């Protein structure tokens, strides 16, 4: 056999177990692509449907890294849903370039609204997509569930500084969707007793879209760059969200966000921080994470290497990129087909750890 053909077959076989896993093994996969202190969280559902939450910075580096993870690792041929949480360049900047190499079908964002002070540029507004929609609090994204499998829902909990706080329902009444836990939030949240306000954030961070993803009992929370005072509104005076398994550390780990009230209310088991070499992972946020008893592991995209020496880092084995000039290693999380356990890994370092989904 021609050695080039043999090599091609070998490469195809090597990808068959990993690159196409999201489409064949009925698992829910989440990938955090390294966009150097921006944000790019790729969700691949058990049916192979894809949701990219934010697209990193402008230029070619971040779109290329997202493309590599999406196509070479996750086996995707398109992005079905792009959610842009807010209009800062490290969250929308890679979308236009990515759309040229990987089709984007449906864009969900804040659209235009009264009080919008930081509109995105024409490059973002005009890149090719089949559909664009304004995402609103309480809305569920139109994603498919696998036949006979656990429930799968992705709900917007907040957008444009408006928080979804549904009316309480009788716990015996069935609901068509899950999402925010409307049947358990009957009492005031004790965590709110120590709530403190910060100066009003007038940047577009405060308008961030907040998402809650559920697969069976598994729950994942992503709030973009939402800031302190709006975070409190999500869980005070009542916690309508309930608890989660995985908390994407908000705003790259900056102290403007990650209000202790919301972290302690959500009681995550693990936290994943998409920080940069010198961006994010600030002292107050790191202290909040380490002081939250429910958190068993804190993962960082980058080792904190601020030159002033004021650094905070998790265990080395939980950091995807330890060097300043890194290779752009990603973090992956995979939920089993029944939604009972999940495994988080850093493929480049061969780190892997499995957790049980917390009973809600």
pLDDT in the model for residue 19: 38
Instruction: Report pTM.
Output: 0.89
User: Which residue in 317, 309, 271 sits closest to 290, CA to CA?
Assistant: 271
pLDDT in the model for residue 168: 38
Q: Report how far apart, in Å, the C-alpha atoms of 63 and of each of 76, 95, 97, 129, 269 are.
A: 14, 7, 6, 16, 30
What are the residue boundaries of the structural domains of the chain, listed by start?
23-169+176-355
List, in sequence order, every residue forming a beta bridge with 319; answer none if it has no partner: 300
List, in sequence order, every residue forming a beta bridge with 154; answer none if it has no partner: 213
The dotted CATH code for 23-169+176-355 is 3.60.15.10
Contact 292, 272 (CB under 8 A): no
Encoding tokens for residue 4?
């080039």
Burial 59-72 (b: 16+ CB within 10 A, else e): eebbbbbbbebbee
Encoding tokens for residue 331?
């973090």
Residue whose tokens read 């009316």:
167
List, in sequence order, every residue forming a beta bridge with 95; answer none if it has no partner: none
In degrees and rounded to multiples of 5, residue 164 shows phi and psi of -80, 115
Alpha-carbon radius of gyration of the chain: 20
Residue whose tokens read 């990993």:
18
- pLDDT tens for 203-243 read 999 999 999 999 999 999 999 999 999 999 999 999 999 99
HEC per residue, the chain = CCHHHHHHHHHHHHHHCCCCHHHHCCCEEEEECCCCCCCCEEEECCCCCEEEECCCCCCCHHHHHHHHHHHHHCCCCCEEEEECCCCCHHHHCCHHHHHHHCCEEEEEECCCCCCCCCCCCHHHHHCCCCEEEECCCCCECCCCCCCCCCCEEEEEEEECCEECCCCCCCCCCCCCCCCCCCCCCCCCCHHHHHCCCCCCCCCHHHHCCEEEEEECCEEEEECCCCCHHHHHHHHCCCCCCCCCCEEECHHHHCCCCCCHHHHHHHCCCEEEECCCCCCCCCHHHHHHHHHCCCCCEEEEEECCCCCCCCCCCCCHHHEEECCCCCCCCCEEEEECCCCCEEEEEECCCCEEEEEECCCC
pLDDT in the model for residue 2: 44
Q: Which residues contact 212 (CB under 8 A, 6 or more apart)?
A: 154, 155, 157, 179, 180, 219, 220, 221, 241, 244
Q: Report how far apart, in Å, the C-alpha atoms of 240 and of each of 57, 141, 157, 166, 208 are.
A: 33, 19, 10, 8, 18
Q: What is the pLDDT along the chain (360 residues), one digit of tens a residue?
A: 444 434 333 333 333 333 344 456 899 999 999 999 999 999 999 999 999 999 999 999 999 999 999 999 999 999 999 999 999 999 999 999 999 999 999 999 999 999 999 999 999 999 999 999 999 999 999 999 888 889 999 999 999 999 997 743 333 323 445 565 544 455 799 999 989 999 999 999 999 999 999 999 999 999 999 999 999 999 999 999 999 999 999 999 999 999 999 999 999 999 999 999 999 999 999 999 999 999 999 999 999 998 887 789 999 999 999 999 999 999 999 999 999 999 999 999 999 999 999 987
């Amino acid at each position: 056999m021609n050695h080039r053909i043999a090599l091609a077959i070998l490469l195809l076989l090597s990808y068959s177990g990993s690159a196409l896993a999201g489409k064949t093994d009925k698992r829910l996969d989440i990938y955090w692509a390294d966009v150097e202190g921006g944000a790019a969280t790729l969700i691949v559902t058990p049916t192979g449907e894809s949701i990219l939450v934010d697209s990193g910075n402008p230029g070619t580096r971040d779109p290329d890294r997202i493309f590599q993870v999406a196509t070479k690792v996750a086996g995707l041929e398109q992005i079905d849903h792009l959610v842009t949480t807010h209009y800062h360049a490290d969250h929308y900047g890679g979308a236009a370039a990515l759309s040229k190499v990987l089709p984007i079908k449906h864009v969900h964002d804040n659209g235009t609204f009264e009080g919008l002070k930081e509109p995105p540029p024409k490059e973002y507004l005009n890149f090719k997509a089949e559909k664009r929609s304004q995402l609103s609090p309480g809305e569920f994204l139109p994603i498919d569930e696998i036949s006979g499998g656990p429930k799968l829902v992705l709900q917007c909990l907040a957008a444009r500084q408006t928080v979804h706080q549904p009316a309480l329902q009788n716990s015996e009444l069935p609901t068509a969707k899950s999402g925010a836990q409307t049947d358990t939030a009957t009492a005031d949240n004790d965590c709110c007793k120590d709530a403190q306000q910060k100066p009003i954030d007038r940047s577009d961070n405060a308008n961030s879209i907040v998402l809650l993803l559920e697969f069976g009992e598994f729950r994942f929370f992503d709030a973009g760059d939402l800031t302190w005072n709006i975070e409190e509104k999500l869980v005070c005076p009542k916690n309508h969200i309930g608890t989660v398994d995985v908390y994407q550390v908000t705003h790259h780990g900056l102290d403007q966000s990650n209000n202790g009230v919301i972290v302690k209310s959500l009681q995550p088991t693990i936290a994943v921080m998409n920080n940069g070499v010198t961006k994010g992972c600030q002292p107050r946020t790191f202290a909040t994470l380490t002081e939250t008893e429910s958190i068993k592991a804190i993962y960082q995209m980058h080792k904190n290497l601020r030159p002033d020496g004021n650094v905070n880092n998790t265990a080395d084995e939980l950091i995807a990129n330890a060097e300043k000039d890194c290779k752009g290693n990603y973090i992956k999380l995979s939920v089993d087909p029944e939604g009972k356990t999940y495994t988080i890994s850093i493929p480049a370092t061969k780190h892997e750890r499995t957790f049980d989904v917390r009973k809600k």
